[in-house]
């Protein structure tokens, strides 16, 4: 999974990076530590598209609903591309 950029457009340090992991430890509710790499070989691999989409839609269970009343899903702020490696 490659993070292409935020859905709403502003550039981030994660643009063009490959997703490695997401961790909610030592963060305030609604925030997370996002770990990425420029190396596709370091990216997390998934058994299938369903597993990838489950990771993409991972919910921060510590946070309440977002402004739209939906669960807080940090990765969905990004547009992604999917590459076979």
Q: Where are the domains of the chain?
A: 2-81
How confident is the model at residue 44, as a pLDDT? 96
What's the pTM?
0.87
- Structure tokens, 37: 């790499």
Q: pLDDT tens-digit profile of 42-52?
A: 999 999 999 99
How confident is the model at residue 6, as a pLDDT? 95
How confident is the model at residue 25, as a pLDDT? 83
How confident is the model at residue 62, as a pLDDT? 84
For the chain, how many residues are written? 85
How confident is the model at residue 31, as a pLDDT? 82
Q: Which residues of the chain have pLDDT under 50?
A: none
Rounded to 5 degrees, what are φ and ψ at 54? -65, -40
How confident is the model at residue 32, as a pLDDT? 87
The sheet that has 17-23: what strands, in order across it? 33-37, 17-23, 2-6, 78-81
How confident is the model at residue 29, as a pLDDT? 79
């Amino acid at each position: 999974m490659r993070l292409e950029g935020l859905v709403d457009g502003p550039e981030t340090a994660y643009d063009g990076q490959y997703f490695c992991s997401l961790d909610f430890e030592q963060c305030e509710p609604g925030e997370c530590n996002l770990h990425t790499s420029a190396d596709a070989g370091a990216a997390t691999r998934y058994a299938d598209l369903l597993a990838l989409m489950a990771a993409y839609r991972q919910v921060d269970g510590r946070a309440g609903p977002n402004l739209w009343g939906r669960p807080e899903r940090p990765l969905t702020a990004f547009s992604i591309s999917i590459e076979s490696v």
